[in-house]
Structure 1
Amino acid sequence: MIERFLPLLLLLGSNIFMTFAWYGHLKYKGSPLLLAIVASWGIAFFEYSLMVPANRLGSNVYSVVQLKTIQEILTLVVFAGFSTWYLGQPLKWNHYAAFGLIVGAAFLMFYEPASPVTA
């Protein structure tokens, strides 16, 4: 059971670091660009420190395509919260609708149709 959930927790943590590395500096647009780059690069180290083991462990349970899909869904969830909470840019109905379509696509990624019964 832990082998199924540990990669998900690691991916979640990785996405939190990734979101701060990629978008956190937007709250401080007055700071020098070089500082933003160096700070983002430092934060990204922690992202990779979680992402690499998440993918390594997760590949024992999930396909690579499934891992990438999980990562993208977590990215959207983390980013939606980050955008609203940290950057003060709330999401609109069309953003939620677009996210819903992406979640539907993710469902299809994991859907395994039953094999037809042959007589």
Structure 2
Amino acid sequence: MPSLAAAPSLFSLLAPIVLLIGSNVFMTFAWYGHLKFPGAALWVVVFISWGIAFFEYWLAVPANRIGYSVYSGAELKTIQEVISLSVFALFAIFYLGEKFTLNHVLGFAFIALGAFFIFKGPLK
């Protein structure tokens, strides 16, 4: 017998992910963008980071509000962490000019395994 509960809309499934990607881009620049400017005064980079983080919150809070209608809190946090690490990996390579090593790949693989257990793990 089909369920009478409505299936989650595509919007409620995807909007949190899109908003969290945008949020994490802002967050990454707020937290790590100043590393390319080691000579800048700390108080200056803190204020600039706060300004950038303002926009991060305008994306993260709606993402979590919308997402909580279809995802659990643990699932939302897992989505956020996977996105955060993915955005940071690209940021570190392309903005900071850092190398991506096999250790990073293995570490991210273990995090992906953890995400699997949050969403589809056998121990429900």
Short-chain TM bin: over 0.9
**4+ aligned runs moved over 2 Å, structure 1:** 112-115
The CA deviation at 1:2 is 1.4
Q: What pairs up with 1:1-119 in 2 under 5 angstroms?
A: 1-111=10-120, 113=122
* CA distance in 1: counterparts of 2:26 and 2:109, whole angstroms: 24
1:52 maps to a residue whose letter is V
Q: How large is the RMSD of aligned CA atoms in angstroms? A: 1.4
Question: Residues 114 and 41 from structure 1, CA distance in 2 versus in 1: closer, same or farther, beyond 3 angstroms?
Answer: closer
Q: Which amino acid aligns with 2:72?
A: S
Could you list the runs of 5+ residues in structure 2 that have no partner in the other structure? 1-9
In the alignment, the residues of structure 2 paired with residue 91 and residue 102 of structure 1 have an alpha-carbon distance, to the nearest angstrom, of: 16
Count of residue pairs brought into register by the alignment:
115
User: 1:94, CA displacement in angstroms?
Assistant: 0.4
Spell out, residue by residue over 1:17-47, the C-alpha distance to the aligned partner (whole angstroms, 9 max, x if none): 0000000000011111111000000000000
| Runs of 5+ consecutive residues of structure 1 not aligned to the other structure | none
* SS in structure 1 at match of 2:34: helix
- What SS does structure 2 have at the residue aligned with 1:9? helix
Scaled by the length of structure 2, what TM-score is found? 0.89
Q: Following the alignment from structure 2 to structure 1, what is the Cα–Cα distance between the partners of residues 111 and 45?
A: 30
- Scaled by the length of structure 1, the TM-score of the pair is 0.93
